[in-house]
Chain A
């Protein structure tokens, strides 16, 4: 005789871990970015995947931080990923010379905090640019394209690329810089 107790209830329950949808949506929106970044920093696909997992796990644990964060979610994730990689590298490097650890750790942690603000703040500021301005900035600076290449990619005139990049840079400067320094 065999008794059957395969339960749909149980299966549904397993899919309903709170915040699981958050992890799914972060993964589908930011996964490529996170993984590519982690692969570049670690030069190791398996290690990079583990970093991505750990990053998403921290995002899930700190969902409130993520929600309240005025900067960019992607900036938060990338910064956390980098911190994980840095911490692991430091853990490996520091272990044999524990004497140095005490001296170096506070400074390193402070650097982390500063960088968190910066990367998230910059990306947050870029997110507030108009999509046209943001696209020009990304092509010119982060993808290393020339004005003419960017013009071709975006299907606009080179003169438009120049003027948009000027306005983008000014707008970003205004958002990030101290108010007194902003040219008006």
Chain B
């Protein structure tokens, strides 16, 4: 009888509390009379304290349910930290918080321009920054409109436009016809991570009323008033 009961292989499951009640009682009865099992069990029970350091969620695998918005937001923060903070000019500091976000975005653009001929780290005086999210389409855009001699340079970061959409970056003057500053088709990457764009428009600085992303079939994805 004792050879059947002295079955150390049940001690693991016993220590983990995984035996059914009848078997647990039987093991308990045996252990209470068996010093060898008691010694081994004492060590196993100690182990439970270590196991309890690990939460049960540790054994879930894969990405979270519900799409990759969380990943996109995380990558955005990674990129925001990666890019060096642009030197801010006095004229911009006084502007509201929304503009600060746009300046942070400017970092991503600044990096790209480091290889371009013009000095990169400062936004030109008179640069206007703004952003908007369209509640219906879910698309968002941050733009910086930089003044040039009689025309404007437009930096934009467009996010939330579904892959496959054929889009135009439209710059609207206060008077006159809208101009297309560029066009593209949204890739999977662009849909997932957002897309930095730049374009130009022959509209005098200060005369830009809004910047839009329109689809080629005429839907406005997002509109940023300036």
CB distance A3 to B13 under 8 Å? no
Contacts of A118 in B (CB 8 A): 50, 53
A14 touches B108 (CB 8 A): yes
Please determine whether A172 and B47 come into contact, CB atoms closer than 8 angstroms: yes
Given A3-B200, A6-B169: A29 and B55 within 8 A (CB)? Answer: no
Q: CB distance B195 to A119 under 8 Å? A: no
Closest residue to A72 on the B side, CB-wise?
Answer: B58
8 Å CB interface, B44-79 against A: 44, 46-48, 50-51, 53-65, 70-71, 73-75, 77-79
Chain B minimum-CB-distance residue to A30: B61
Which of chain A's residues have a CB closer than 8 A to the CB of B81?
57, 61
A131 interface residue, CB < 8 Å from B? no
Q: Residue B33 at the A interface, CB < 8 A?
A: no
Are B63 and A31 touching (Cβ within 8 A)? Answer: yes
B58 partner, pick from A29, A142, A172, beta carbons under 8 A: A142
A5 contact from B10, B15, B200, Cβ within 8 A: B200
Q: Is A9 an interface residue (CB 8 A)?
A: yes
**Shortest distance from the beta carbon of A139 to any chain B beta carbon, whole Å:** 8
In the bound assembly, the distance between CA atoms of A33 and B109 in angstroms comes to 34
A37 to chain B, nearest CB (A): 4
The tally of CB-CB contacts under 8 A between chains A and B is 216
Contact: B197 with A6, CB < 8 Å?
yes
A5, A18, A168: the one within 8 Å of B182 (CB): A5
In angstroms, Cα B71 to Cα A60, docked, is 13
A2 at the interface (CB under 8 A from B): yes
In-complex Cβ contact of B74 among A11, A13, A56 (8 A): A56
- Size category of the binding interface on chain A: 35 or more
Asked if A90 lies at the interface with its beta carbon under 8 angstroms from chain B, I say no
Cβ of A10: which chain B residues have Cβ within 8 Å of it? 109, 112, 196-198
Known: A2-B180, A119-B53. A29 touches B62 (CB 8 A): yes
The answer to whether B70 touches A52 (Cβ under 8 A) is: yes
Pick the contact of A35 from B18, B47, B70 — CB < 8 Å? B70
CB of B211 within 8 Å of the partner chain: no
- Contact partner, A23, options B10, B19, B75, Cβ 8 Å: B75
How many angstroms from the CA of A145 to the CA of B50 in the assembled complex? Answer: 19
On whether the beta carbons of B18 and A147 are closer than 8 Å, the reply is yes
B residues 22-62 touching A (CB-CB < 8 Å)? 23, 39-40, 43-44, 46-48, 50-51, 53-62
Which of the 9-residue segments B125-133, B138-146, B183-191 touches chain A? B183-191
Q: Is B20 an interface residue (CB 8 A)?
A: yes
Tell which of A4, A14, A20 has the most Cβ of chain B within 10 Å.
A14
**Complex contacts, A143 vs chain B, CB 8 Å:** 56, 59
B200 touches A32 (CB 8 A): no
Q: B201 at interface (Cβ–Cβ under 8 A)?
A: yes
B181 adjacent to A146 (CB under 8 Å): no
- Contact of A161 with B189 in the complex, beta carbons under 8 Å: no
- Residues of B at the A interface (CB closer than 8 Å) are 8-13, 15-20, 23, 39-40, 43-44, 46-48, 50-51, 53-65, 70-71, 73-75, 77-79, 81-82, 108-109, 111-112, 169, 171, 179-184, 189-190, 193-202
- A selection of 5 A-B contacts at a CB cut-off of 8 Å is A7-B112, A10-B109, A119-B53, A162-B9, A169-B47
A interface residues with partner B (beta carbon < 8 Å) = 1-7, 9-11, 13-15, 17-20, 23-24, 27-37, 40, 49, 52-53, 56-57, 60-61, 74-75, 78, 115, 118-119, 121-123, 126, 137-138, 140-143, 145-148, 150, 161-163, 165-170, 172-173, 176-177, 181, 183
